[in-house]
Amino acid sequence: MRVLLIALQQTTEGPPSPTEQAQWTEAGAPMRTARLEEDHALALASAMRDGGRLAPMLLCSKNSRLHRRAAALNLPTLTAGGPVDFTRLWLWQRRHKHLVVQTFGECSMAAGRRVLVMRPPQSTLLCHAFLLRAPHADVSSGKGMLSAHKILCGSSHVRERIAKAGGFGQDDAPWRGPRNRQLPLSGDVLAHIAPGMNLEGYTPAPQWSAEAAAPDSDQHFIFCMGDALTPRSGVHVVTRAMAAMWQRRDLPRWEVRAAGGGPRFQEVLEEAESLGVQSRLCLLNEQPLHQLLQSCHAWIAPGSAPDELPETLGAGLAAHMPVICGQGDLHHQRLLAAPTAACMFEENNPQSLAEAMINIMTSEDLRRSTVREGDALRPGLGLDAFADAVCARHEAWCGELGWLEKSAHPQGTKPATDQQ
């Protein structure tokens, strides 16, 4: 079964530049979102090529970073950007009786609809994917969105925004694609799929020993967090929790390392100085988290952003560390399979966070139990887990349409339903 993956993102090499970081606002960080979509498209294409019954073709922008990465992996590709490229796409799609078209992000929606329109009715399944942010309201109610038979949403927030803007998902308004190209598919149009993170380099972090906690020890219990300088990162909650902990004289030595770029460096530094905790706070720029975590003992995810990157919570789980996180909707959703895999605190409450940090630092049993509970979540953190879940959905939908024989997904996974 042929699958056309469309990812037309144009990203830059390397970590975000200071100029790019200065443009991050609560309205989002488009380049960061594009990099995540690019990584997921590449992971899905690789998974389809290496196993299963789905054969990928990746449509990407000519000479883009994604194009170069796909070529390095010997993935089959088509390019977009000129009349000759369009002709090649048209000739390629003619050779396939049935086709699944999977787009990534807002920039790829129009191309997905064009492929759908150029093909015979009842021969194409169009699926969009929005992993971090929903498109703008006018885009969510436009032709590109309404052409899709299925939409993969990375969170409940994305799902709710699309449903509200598009006015679909209601029982009295079934939505199965454009007129004359509808498909008899069951289940919700808006399906949840958890985004993954790159797990390369992650190994179990060192444990905090009883000897290190002795009063005469000069070792520090190190808390760490990522995306610290982005809007709604929760770093201000951390600094105020540090001020509350500073008053305690019965605790081991401790410090907080805040990694990640963003526009809030001066603001955070000034707040730490005003609270008198600047000596316990280390503000780092973009860092490879898997390297940073090898010298840390607990991970904090205090943010409340609905478009938080998967690694903002998942890095601590991937490194087998005790995790502390806020009680936001996104965190509850990502911890659904193991709610006790993190020590949760009341969102935007510094006193609650300080209590959670003290409990993790002083209780070896609590640290061990949270790490143990995280075992249930670790297999689903990576990009491979995302790719397997999407492949399972595609195979289930194609089986329902009679485009391939119904059978079990490759050993170790099983088709997911459209319900969360």
Tokens standing for residue 17: 């530049």
pLDDT classification of 13: cutoffs 50, 70, 90: confident
Residue pair 69/39 in contact (Cβ under 8 Å)? The answer is no
Whether the Cβ atoms of residue 302 and residue 237 lie closer than 8 Å to each other: yes
- Quote the CA–CA distance of 356 and 326 in Å, as a whole number: 10
Residue 417 lies in a domain: no
Amino acid at 12: T
pLDDT band for 215, please (50, 70, 90 cuts): low
* Tokens read off for 34: 């594009």
Question: Rg for the chain (alpha carbons), in Å?
Answer: 23
CATH of the domain at 281: 3.40.50.2000
Q: Is 79 strand, coil or helix?
A: strand
Count structural domains, the chain. 2
Residues 153 and 263 both lie in one domain: no
Q: Is residue 124 part of a domain?
A: yes
Whether residue 337 is found in the same domain as residue 271: yes
Tens digit of each residue's pLDDT (9 = 90 or more) over 103-135:
999 999 999 999 999 999 999 999 999 999 999
Decide the pairing of beta strands 323-326 and 343-345. Answer: parallel
pLDDT tops 80 at residue 60: yes
Asked if residue 128 and residue 111 are part of one domain, the reply reads yes
Are 15 and 226 spatial neighbours (Cβ–Cβ below 8 Å)? no
Enclosing domain of residue 275:
221-380
175 and 228 part of one domain? no
Instruction: Please indicate, yes or no, if residue 410 is contained in any of the structural domains.
Output: no
Residues 369, 393, single domain; the answer is no
Classify 151 as helix, strand or coil: strand
In a domain, 419, yes or no: no
Residues 155-200: tens digit of each pLDDT? 999 999 998 887 765 544 455 567 788 888 888 899 999 999 999 9
The confidence band for 9, taking pLDDT boundaries of 50, 70 and 90, is very high
Residues 121 and 227 in one domain: no
Least confident of 40-54, 206-220, 304-318, 390-404: 206-220
For residues 396 and 373, membership in a common domain is answered with no
Is a pLDDT exceeding 60 seen at residue 412? Answer: no
Whether 206 maps to a domain, the answer reads: no
Does 179 share its domain with 248? no
Classify residue 335 as left (phi > 0), alpha (psi -120 to 50) or beta: alpha
Q: How high is the pLDDT of residue 205?
A: 92
pLDDT digits (tens, 9 = 90+) for 63-107: 999 999 999 999 999 999 888 999 999 999 999 999 999 999 999
> What local confidence, expressed as pLDDT, does residue 214 receive?
61
> How many other CB atoms sit within 10 Å of the CB of residue 274?
11
Q: Averaged over 322-343, what is the pLDDT?
A: 95
Long-range contacts of 15-23 (CB under 8 A, 24+ apart): 15/261, 15/286, 16/261, 16/286, 18/261, 21/229, 21/261, 21/262, 21/263, 22/263, 23/263
Task: Answer whether residue 215 is part of any domain.
Answer: no
Percent of residues, the chain, with pLDDT higher than 90: 69
Nearest CA-CA partner of 261 in 22, 13, 39: 22
Q: Which two tokens stand for residue 376?
A: 């249930």
Higher pLDDT, 264 or 109: 109
Burial per residue of 135-146, b for 16 or more beta-carbon CB atoms within 10 angstroms, e otherwise: beeebbbbebbb
Verdict on whether the full-model pTM lies above 0.75: yes
93 in any annotated domain: yes
The pLDDT confidence band at residue 260, using thresholds 50, 70 and 90, is confident
**Residue 415 pLDDT:** 46
Whole-number Cα distances in Å, 195 to 104, 349, 388, 390: 12, 28, 11, 10
- Please tell me whether residues 191 and 120 are part of one structural domain: yes
Q: What is the pLDDT of residue 19?
A: 78
How far, in Å, CA of 24 to CA of 21, rounded?
Answer: 5
**One domain, residues 33 and 72:** yes
**Angle, vertex CA 192, rays to CA 412 and CA 40, nearest 5:** 70
Q: Is 42 left (phi over 0), alpha (psi -120 to 50) or beta?
A: alpha
pLDDT at 28: 65
**Are residues 392 and 244 both part of a single domain?**
no
Please report the pLDDT score of residue 173 as a whole number.
Answer: 46
CA 347 to chain centre: 21
**For position 340, what pLDDT does the model report?**
95
Q: Is residue 210 part of a domain?
A: no
- Residues 249, 150, single domain; the answer is no
Q: How far is it, in rounded angstroms, from Cα 166 to Cα 37?
A: 22
Q: How much is the pLDDT for 25?
A: 66
- For residue 364, is pLDDT > 80? yes
Scan for tokens 């609905």, then name that residue: 306
